[in-house]
Chains A and B, each alone.
Chain A
Amino acid sequence: MPLWSRTPQPPPPSQAARSPPATQASLSTSPPPPPGFLANHHRRSSSNLDTAHTRAPSGPGSPGRSTAPRLQVHKAGKGRAQRTVAEADELGADDEPWDTNSDEEHELDPSSLVARIGGVSLSIPASSSSGAPQPGGAAGSAAAAASTPVSPTSASASASATTTPTSSSWSFNPFRGASVPAPAAPVRTASGSSSLAAAEAVAAALSGRGGALSARPAPPMQPQRGASYLAGASRVQEEADKVVRAEEQRRSLERGETKPALVDEPEEMDVPGTDKDGTEEDQEGEARKEEESEREEKGEGWAKEQCRRAIRRDVDELVKDPAHVLERLKVAWAAPTAPPAPTAHRASISSVVEPSPNPNKGPADDDDDDDDDPTRGYVQLDAPALSSTDPSIVEFDAPPPNPEEEGERGREKRRRRKFLDVLASDNVDLGELRKLAWSGVPDELRTMVWQLLLGYLPAPLSRRAATLARKRSEYASLVRQAFSRGVGGLDGPIWHQISIDVPRTRPGVKLWMAEATQRSLERVLYVWAIRHPASGYVQGINDLVTPFFQVFLQGYIDADPETFDVSTLPPSVLEALEADSFWCLSKLLDGIQDNYIFAQPGIQRLVKKMDGLCARVDAPLAAHLKEQGVEFIQFAFRWMNCLLMRELSVKNIVRMWDTYLAEGGDAFSEFHLYVCLAFLVRWSDTLREMDFQSIIIFLQSLPTQDWTDKDTELLLSEAFLWSRTFQAR
C-alpha cells in the first residue's frame, strides 16, 4: 500500500523484499501526463457534447423518453453538494439518455476531467482520436467502425465465421474440431497495432521487473502475445498487482498450506452478532474446498476441458448478435401450444392507484392480448398486479380459464413465444419488450433483452452487428489507453482501491476467484472509474458488475457461470463479454451516479425518502424503529449503495433487474427505493418485536437465502403499487 501513498515515506529496509526499490522510485517520480492527453480528451469530449445535445431529444426507439428524468435525479442532490452534483450533471449531460440507442455513446466531461484527473498520467495514443464516437445513425456507425482502430474483437466478430480466434490460450474448440492456431497475428490496422505495441512494450519492460519502468521503450511486438489486446493490459495489471498486492498474493499462496485453525461454527456462538456473510462464506468455502479437491483428482486440464465443452457451438454468432439465440430457441420452444387464453376477468382497483402519467411507459396496453401482461406472473401471489403500460388501471388477474393450458406452464410458454415474436422483429418494439420483461425474462433471452432495454443493443436489426463491433472496439482502445503507460500510468489511488476489492468480490465463488475473471473485472472497473472522475471507483460498484458479467457469460455457455473458467473462452468472446459488461455497467451507473459522488447525495436523499415513506405505509414499524433509535442510514445505506446485492442472491437480483430495466428511466434509484421499502416492511412483524441491537443485526443479515423468484416478484409488485401511489403525489 505504501506505493500509492500521496506522501511517500522512505521504505524501511525490510520492505525491499516485497517490492523492488526501482519500481518504487520510478513510480513516485512518474511523469506528468503528456500535453497531448488532456488536449485529446478535451477535443474528443467536446465533440461528444455537441453530438449529444443535438441528438438527445430524438432518441430513437424509445417512445416518449427524454433525458429529463435523469437530470432531475442530479438536481435533487444539489442542496447538499452543489459543486460535485454540478460536476455530475455535466458528466451526465453528455451521456446517453437511459434507453436511446447507444451506438453514439458519449461520456466524459472535459472540465471535470481536467479538474479531477490532475495527477493521472494517462496517455492517449495518437490513434485513439480516430476512435472518437461519430455522429449519425447506421451509416455513421459503419463509418466509425471503419475508421476506428480495428481491435481483435471487431475483427473476429465480423469475420468470425471464417477465422479462428488466435491465442496461446485458445487451441481447441470441440465444436469446430481441433483448429490449428494461426500464428497469432490478429487483424489490426496500423494505428491499432501501434498502440497495442506500446502497451506491450510496457508490459515487456515490466516483466523484466525492477528496471526500465521509466524508460518505456517500444520493442517490436512479440507475436505470441498479440492474440488479444487484453493480454497487454493483463501484463500491466499483473505487475501493478504484484507491487500493490504483494502481501495479499503471498497470503493466497499460503492459504493452500495453512488453513486458519480458528474457524468455528458461527451458529454455536452465543453471540448475537451472527452474521450472514460469515456463514455464507463458510459454506462457500467448503464448496470451494470440495471443488478444489475434485479438480486435483481429475486434473486442471479436465476441468478446463469441461468448460470448453460447455461453450456454445454458435458462440461466434452469438457474440456478433445476441439475437442469434432466437434461431436455437425457435426450435427448442416450438412445442405445440394451445392458443392463448382468453382475456381473464379483471377487477379494476384503479381507485387505489392514482393515475400517474408516466413518460417512461410504452404504448397503451393491448386489451385483447393478454399474454404480454407484465403482471401475469403474479396471479398466484395474490399480489396487486397491473399493466405497467397503463398506470391508471390496476388489474387483478384471474387464472386463465383455458382448460387446455392452464397454470404456470402454459402461461410461461405463451410468454416465451411472445418474447420470440417481439425479439425476432427487424426493429424490436421496446414498449412491447418492456411489458414482457417486467414480469421476468427467460434465462436464454436475458442477454439480448437486457442489452436492448439498456439501450446498448440497437433495436433495429440492421445496426446491431456494427454497433456491437464498434462499442467493443471502442472499449478495446479504452483499455489500451488506460494501460498503455504501464504501472506508472495508472491512477494510483483508484487502482489501489480496485485491486484490493477485486479479489474480495463475491469471495468463494469460483468464477470470481479465478485470475482471468478478476483481471476482467479490474479492467472494467478501472476504465469506468477513470472515465467518471466525479465519482471514481466506489466500493459496491464492483458488486454491480457481477450480474451483467454472469448473465452475458451464461448466454455463451451451457453450464453454471459461477463455476465456469473464463480463460477457456476464445479471446474474442471474453473481449466481447468484458466490453458488453463495461458498457452496460456504464448505462446502469449513468442513472445513479450521484450515489457515488462526494458525500453520496443520491443515497442520502433516497434513505431520507425511504424513512418518510415508511411512516406512511407502515406507521407502527416506523414508530418502533424511531423509538429504538434505529436510523435508516444505518441499514439502508448499503441497500442503496449495492442495490440490495448484499441482501439477496445474484439470482434474485437478476430477476429484479429484469423489472428494473423494464421500468427504465430512473428505476435503479426511484423504483429501487420502493423495492427497499417493500423489503423493509416485509420484515415488519419481526422487527417490531426487536430492540435496537437485534434490529440492526437482523437487518444486516436477513434470512433471504432461500428466496425464490416468487419472493422477489412479490417485492416488485408491492414496490410497483407504492411507486405509482406515491409518485403521483
Chain B
Amino acid sequence: MAATSHSTGAAAAPAPPVTSSRKLVLLGESAVGKSSLVLQFVKGQFDDYRESTIGAAFLTQTVPVESGNFVKFEIWDTAGQERYKSLAPMYYRSAHAAVVVYDITSAASLLKARAWISELQRQADPSIVVCLAGNKLDLADAGQRQVSTDEAQKFADEEGLMFAEVSAKTAQGVEDMFKRIAERMPVDTAAAKSRTGASLAGRGGVNLNQGSGNSVTDGCAC
C-alpha cells in the first residue's frame, strides 16, 4: 500500500467517488471465528465447521462510506494457533486496521485478544485503527456468555479501541462493524487513487499515511 502514503484522510472528494484500498488484518485466538467473520462479511456465508486457517487467507470487500466514497478492504485473515504467531507481524505491520477477535463464550480468548492488542500497540503502525470484536453473540442467549459486554467495552474504552459484539453466524453486527471501521479509514484523494490500483502490491511498504514515525519498517518476517 505504498501509494496510499500520500493520502491525507480527506474525505471530501464529492465526485467522482473514490475507492481507497485499505489493509485490514484479523487477529485472535484459534477458533474464535476470525475466518467465519470475514466470510460472513465478504460472502454472506456461514459454515458451522471450516477448515482451520493455515498461515493466512486473503479476501477483499468494498464498502461505501458516508462521504459517498468507497473503502476497499484487503483483508488478511491470520491463523490463530500460537505456532503461527511469528507470521503475524508480516500481516499487521502495514495494516490500516486490525480486528482483534475474541469469543464471548470464552474468557480465555479475551485474554489472548488483550495480548494481541498490546502487541499491536508495541509493534504496529501507531495510526492503526483497532477494533475489539466479541464474536459468537448468537450464543449469548444460550447462557454461554463468559465475557460481559460491559467488561469488554470498558477494556476497549481504556485502550482507545473500537468495540463491537457480533455474530458471524447470524451476521448480527458484522457489516456494521466493518462500516464503522471504514468510516475511520482515510480516503485517497482522486489523484492518489489513480496510482492505487497498480500498487496494492506494495505490501512490503509501510503505511505512512498518518505519520508512523516509529513503525517497524518494511519487509516481511521471513
Total A-B residue pairs with C-beta atoms closer than 8 Å? 198
Docked complex: B65-106 residues within 8 A CB-CB of A = 74-75, 79, 81, 83-84, 86-87, 90, 103, 105-106
Docked complex: A630-647 residues within 8 A CB-CB of B = 630-634, 637-638, 641-642, 646
* Neighbour of A497 across the interface among B55, B81, B143, CB < 8 A: B81
Docked complex: A53-70 residues within 8 A CB-CB of B = none
Is B39 on the interface with A (CB-CB < 8 A)?
yes
Is A169 on the interface with B (CB-CB < 8 A)?
no
Q: Mark B50-76, 1 if CB is under 8 A from A, else 0.
A: 111011111111100000000000110
Q: Mark B23-48, 1 if CB is under 8 A from A, else 0.
A: 00000011100000001101111111
**B87 with A637: CB separation less than 8 A:** yes
Is A170 on the interface with B (CB-CB < 8 A)?
no
B108 surroundings in chain A (CB, below 8 A): 1-5, 9
Docked complex: B148-178 residues within 8 A CB-CB of A = 148, 169-171
**B30 with A697: CB separation less than 8 A:** no
**A15 with B44: CB separation less than 8 A:** no
**B58 with A507: CB separation less than 8 A:** no
Q: Which listed segment binds B: A257-265, A299-307, A480-488? A: A257-265
Minimum CB–CB distance from A178 to chain B (whole Å) comes to 38
Is A246 on the interface with B (CB-CB < 8 A)?
yes
Q: Which listed segment binds A: B7-15, B179-187, B195-203? A: B195-203
Is A277 on the interface with B (CB-CB < 8 A)?
yes
* Neighbour of A247 across the interface among B56, B83, B144, B197, CB < 8 A: B144
B84 surroundings in chain A (CB, below 8 A): 539, 600
Is A627 on the interface with B (CB-CB < 8 A)?
yes
Docked complex: B90-133 residues within 8 A CB-CB of A = 90, 103, 105-109, 111
**B105 with A247: CB separation less than 8 A:** yes
**B59 with A633: CB separation less than 8 A:** no
Is A708 on the interface with B (CB-CB < 8 A)?
no
A281 surroundings in chain B (CB, below 8 A): 47, 50
Is A604 on the interface with B (CB-CB < 8 A)?
yes
**A500 with B31: CB separation less than 8 A:** yes
* Neighbour of A503 across the interface among B49, B202, B204, CB < 8 A: B49
B216 surroundings in chain A (CB, below 8 A): none
Q: Which listed segment binds B: A131-139, A268-276, A315-323? A: A268-276
Chain A interface size range:
35 or more
| A17-B143, A273-B58, A600-B83 known; A278-B105 Cβ under 8 A | no
Is B191 on the interface with A (CB-CB < 8 A)?
no
**B58 with A539: CB separation less than 8 A:** no
**B86 with A599: CB separation less than 8 A:** yes
A608 surroundings in chain B (CB, below 8 A): 222
| A1-B109, A507-B47, A507-B49 known; A275-B57 Cβ under 8 A | yes
Is A211 on the interface with B (CB-CB < 8 A)?
no
**B59 with A697: CB separation less than 8 A:** yes
**B48 with A252: CB separation less than 8 A:** yes
Is A46 on the interface with B (CB-CB < 8 A)?
no
Minimum CB–CB distance from B64 to chain A (whole Å) comes to 14
**Which residue of chain A lies nearest to B79 when distances are taken between CB atoms in the complex?**
A539
Minimum CB–CB distance from B74 to chain A (whole Å) comes to 7
Is A505 on the interface with B (CB-CB < 8 A)?
yes
**Which residue of chain B lies nearest to A277 when distances are taken between CB atoms in the complex?**
B51
Is A147 on the interface with B (CB-CB < 8 A)?
no
Is A355 on the interface with B (CB-CB < 8 A)?
no
Is A208 on the interface with B (CB-CB < 8 A)?
no
A7 surroundings in chain B (CB, below 8 A): 111
Q: Mark A505-543, 1 if CB is under 8 A from B, else 0.
A: 111100001000000000000000000000010111010
B61 surroundings in chain A (CB, below 8 A): 271, 273
**A539 with B81: CB separation less than 8 A:** yes
* A691 vs B197: C-alpha distance when bound (angstroms): 9
**B146 with A12: CB separation less than 8 A:** yes
B221 surroundings in chain A (CB, below 8 A): 633
A252 surroundings in chain B (CB, below 8 A): 48
**B83 with A539: CB separation less than 8 A:** yes
Is A14 on the interface with B (CB-CB < 8 A)?
yes
**B145 with A271: CB separation less than 8 A:** no
**A266 with B43: CB separation less than 8 A:** yes
Is A251 on the interface with B (CB-CB < 8 A)?
yes
Is A629 on the interface with B (CB-CB < 8 A)?
yes
Minimum CB–CB distance from B58 to chain A (whole Å) comes to 5
Docked complex: A479-504 residues within 8 A CB-CB of B = 497, 500-501, 503-504
**B145 with A700: CB separation less than 8 A:** no
B198 surroundings in chain A (CB, below 8 A): 691
**Which residue of chain A lies nearest to B42 when distances are taken between CB atoms in the complex?**
A273
* A607 vs B90: C-alpha distance when bound (angstroms): 15
**A15 with B146: CB separation less than 8 A:** yes
Minimum CB–CB distance from A82 to chain B (whole Å) comes to 15
**A264 with B144: CB separation less than 8 A:** no
Minimum CB–CB distance from B49 to chain A (whole Å) comes to 4
**B107 with A691: CB separation less than 8 A:** no
| A273-B60, A631-B220 known; A11-B52 Cβ under 8 A | no
Minimum CB–CB distance from B167 to chain A (whole Å) comes to 10
| A263-B46, A633-B90 known; A538-B55 Cβ under 8 A | no
B74 surroundings in chain A (CB, below 8 A): 693
* A240 vs B61: C-alpha distance when bound (angstroms): 39
| A1-B108, A2-B106, A250-B142 known; A696-B47 Cβ under 8 A | no
* A630 vs B171: C-alpha distance when bound (angstroms): 32
A503 surroundings in chain B (CB, below 8 A): 49
**A9 with B107: CB separation less than 8 A:** yes
A275 surroundings in chain B (CB, below 8 A): 39, 43, 57, 59
**A691 with B54: CB separation less than 8 A:** no
**B48 with A539: CB separation less than 8 A:** no
Docked complex: A5-61 residues within 8 A CB-CB of B = 5, 7, 9, 11-12, 14-15, 17-18
A547 surroundings in chain B (CB, below 8 A): none
* Neighbour of B107 across the interface among A5, A277, A513, A607, CB < 8 A: A5
* A635 vs B145: C-alpha distance when bound (angstroms): 36
A693 surroundings in chain B (CB, below 8 A): 58, 60, 74, 200
**B204 with A631: CB separation less than 8 A:** yes
A504 surroundings in chain B (CB, below 8 A): 49-52
**B203 with A538: CB separation less than 8 A:** no
A598 surroundings in chain B (CB, below 8 A): 83
Minimum CB–CB distance from A80 to chain B (whole Å) comes to 10
B169 surroundings in chain A (CB, below 8 A): 251, 260
**Which residue of chain A lies nearest to B109 when distances are taken between CB atoms in the complex?**
A1
Is A285 on the interface with B (CB-CB < 8 A)?
yes
B43 surroundings in chain A (CB, below 8 A): 264, 266, 269, 271, 273-275, 278
Is A172 on the interface with B (CB-CB < 8 A)?
no
B31 surroundings in chain A (CB, below 8 A): 1, 500-501
* Neighbour of B222 across the interface among A506, A627, A631, CB < 8 A: A631
**A2 with B202: CB separation less than 8 A:** no
Is A298 on the interface with B (CB-CB < 8 A)?
no
| A14-B143, A263-B46, A539-B83 known; A607-B222 Cβ under 8 A | yes
Is A596 on the interface with B (CB-CB < 8 A)?
yes
**A263 with B45: CB separation less than 8 A:** yes
* A630 vs B221: C-alpha distance when bound (angstroms): 13
Docked complex: A106-151 residues within 8 A CB-CB of B = none
Q: Mark B186-222, 1 if CB is under 8 A from A, else 0.
A: 0000000000011011111100000000000000111
| A11-B146, A250-B144, A251-B48 known; A500-B30 Cβ under 8 A | yes
| A2-B108, A604-B222, A631-B204 known; A501-B52 Cβ under 8 A | yes
Is A727 on the interface with B (CB-CB < 8 A)?
no
Minimum CB–CB distance from A542 to chain B (whole Å) comes to 8
Known: A285-B47, A500-B30, A631-B90. 8 other contacts (CB 8 A): A269-B42, A282-B45, A507-B49, A539-B83, A604-B222, A631-B222, A642-B54, A691-B200
21 A-B pairs with C-beta separation under 8 A: A5-B107, A9-B111, A11-B107, A12-B146, A12-B148, A15-B146, A17-B144, A18-B105, A251-B48, A262-B171, A264-B45, A273-B43, A275-B43, A277-B50, A278-B39, A504-B51, A507-B47, A507-B50, A539-B83, A691-B198, A693-B60
- What are the 3 tightest A-B residue pairs by CB atom distance, in nearest-first order? A629-B201, A273-B59, A1-B106
